[in-house]
Amino acid sequence: MTADVSKSADVVLIGAGIMSATLGTILKELEPSLDVVMLETLHDCGQESSQAWNNAGTGHAANCELNYTPQRADGTIDIAKALEVNTEFDLSRQLWSHLVAKGAIPDPRAFLHPCPHMSFVWGDENVDFLRRRYREMAAHHCYHGMEFSDDHRRIADWAPLVMEGRDAGQTVAATRIVSGADVDYGALTHLLVAQLRAQAGFAVHYKHRVVDLARDGGGRWLVTVEEVATGERKAISARFVFAGAGGGALAILQKSGIPEGHGYGGFPVSGIWLRCDVDTVSARHHAKVYGKAAHGSPPMSVPHLDTRIVGGKRSLLFGPYAGFSSKFLKHGSYSDLFRSIEPGNILPMLAVARDNWQLSEYLIGQVLQTAEHQFAALQAFFPRAQREDWQQAVAGQRVQIIKPDQQHAGVLEFGTELVASADKSFVALLGASPGASTAAFIAIEVLERCFADRLTPDGWLEGLKTMIPTYGIDLKQDAAACRAIRASTAGTLKLDFV
């Protein structure tokens, strides 16, 4: 073990992805004197789900993702979940704007680019759904500026590749909102960690794996870390521990032994992208275009054709094609799923297997798909796509939450969830989508759950409002505050505003 690993810290962040980087940034902004240690198994930060090509970089503002707006039994459209995600993304925009304004992030273009968000469907039933969805959303101030069209020529103006070669008689429709973004969460993670490393009282240790977690009897945690290269171990005494290690957070939760984590399990879902780096193709598409998910598929499998800007290079991404792997991390082990099974979560996991046969059937079908089937799905979005322009790429691994439930024994959750100890000294973040896009919201939830005694007028409250000016304001209800803060952050972040 290298000598520079601290023996004690106020805060230990397990995992060096966007979640830990965001929480660490907010904590150090609120109390610069905090001693914060970040631990990462891999050689660098942002290498798992946060890495640019391991996610879609959509900046999920629930503009285009149809799975956030389900249809009720009476045919009306429920936009409640979309509004929650939409305004949660505003918190991320405010944090980023604060960091840009103070110079901690020199240029937002290093990780963020304006990119319209679109929904696109075909077929009479889907067009009718999208039209009703648009009417519901456009009536709300959070979706000011959303456009709808069922005209082939208008949609071709928005996204020419989607319409060229399409049957002129096919019924189609699209919505579009120009204030969307493409986010390189890998680049953002690097920027956040870099500005943290420039501060006193922060250290990040790569190639250090957390192998155990235990109470020390005095209200603190002993975090045992192993140096990957040598196997040497050392314990760090911590007042507060955050496990933001993506799919690896479940194992950390289980090691903690907190009763609140009893019965939790995980269901891993892998993904494949098709990626196009041909400049003459990518230059003609400027949008993230989302369609409808297959029946029974997980939210991360909603098909979409996206503009991506990574490292200054413009590309296109299509997918994802869902699959199954027993790994909990892309750089994990095939034994991850099996090692996560404990006596306490066997019944919840069996209940989920029993109640989610459609998901199992869908994943089996995806795994068995040929390259020809995958390319045919792309051509449904991009009729004139050429096979030689596209290459296959593996997406990040996602672990959906299996949660204990009294009525069903266990349920499969597709969101994210914080599991905290009763004394608020430990919290693990489980789950996937919308994930990175709501990192600031999740970090604030950690503050409210675990540091409520500090969120006072003579404590952290004013500092938090400096970072997040609308903290305490419901942007779903306050149209004026919503419009004002979006105009302000759009200016600082160089995004479009309507």
Whether residue 450 lies inside any domain: the answer is yes
Residue 161 has pLDDT above 80, yes or no: yes
Q: What are the tokens at 401?
A: 């939450």
Beta strands at 181-183 and 112-114: parallel, antiparallel or unpaired: antiparallel
CB 415 within 8 A of CB 70: no
Whether residue 195 lies inside any domain: the answer is yes
Instruction: Identify the residue with better confidence: 49 or 259.
Output: 259
Whether residue 312 lies inside any domain: the answer is no
- Per DSSP, the three-state class of 487 is helix
Cα separations (Å) of 53 from 177, 207, 310, 416? Answer: 24, 22, 8, 21
| Mean predicted lDDT score pLDDT of the chain | 90
Q: Which tens digits make up the pLDDT trace of 263-291?
A: 888 888 778 889 999 999 999 999 999 99
**pLDDT tier, 56 (very low <50, low <70, confident <90, very high otherwise):** confident
Beta strands at 36-39 and 8-14: parallel, antiparallel or unpaired: parallel
Whether residue 310 lies inside any domain: the answer is no
Distance CA 308, CA 404 (A): 38
Residue 433 has pLDDT above 80, yes or no: no
Q: Which tens digits make up the pLDDT trace of 79-93?
A: 999 999 999 999 999
Is omega for the bond preceding 116 within 30 degrees of 0, making it cis? Answer: no
pTM listed for this prediction: 0.92
User: What domain range is 50 assigned to?
Assistant: 1-58+80-107+184-244+434-498
pLDDT average, residue stretch 133-161: 97
Task: Give the CATH number, domain containing residue 47.
Answer: 3.50.50.60
Residue 106 — φ and ψ, nearest 5°?
A: -65, -40
CB 86 within 8 A of CB 98: no
Say what percent of the chain tops pLDDT 70: 94
Nearest to 285 by CA among 159, 180, 385: 159
**pLDDT tier, 365 (very low <50, low <70, confident <90, very high otherwise):** low
Say what percent of the chain tops pLDDT 90: 68
Whether residue 19 lies inside any domain: the answer is yes
Distance CA 302, CA 458 (A): 46
Give the residue carrying structure tokens 């994802």: 320
Cβ within 8 Å of residue 436, ≥6 positions away:
18, 19, 49, 50, 55, 183, 185
Cα separations (Å) of 92 from 38, 99, 137, 199, 277? Answer: 21, 11, 22, 21, 29
CB 96 within 8 A of CB 59: no
pLDDT average, residue stretch 191-201: 97
Report the Cα 424 to chain-centroid distance in Å: 24
Whether residue 73 lies inside any domain: the answer is no
**pLDDT tier, 59 (very low <50, low <70, confident <90, very high otherwise):** confident
**pLDDT tier, 151 (very low <50, low <70, confident <90, very high otherwise):** very high
Distance CA 361, CA 340 (A): 23
Whether residue 335 lies inside any domain: the answer is no
Distance CA 452, CA 87 (A): 22
Domain count along the chain: 1
Distance CA 173, CA 336 (A): 43
Residue 159 has pLDDT above 50, yes or no: yes
Whether residue 460 lies inside any domain: the answer is yes
Q: Which tens digits make up the pLDDT trace of 298-355?
A: 555 678 999 999 999 999 999 877 777 788 788 888 887 888 888 887 787 777 777 7
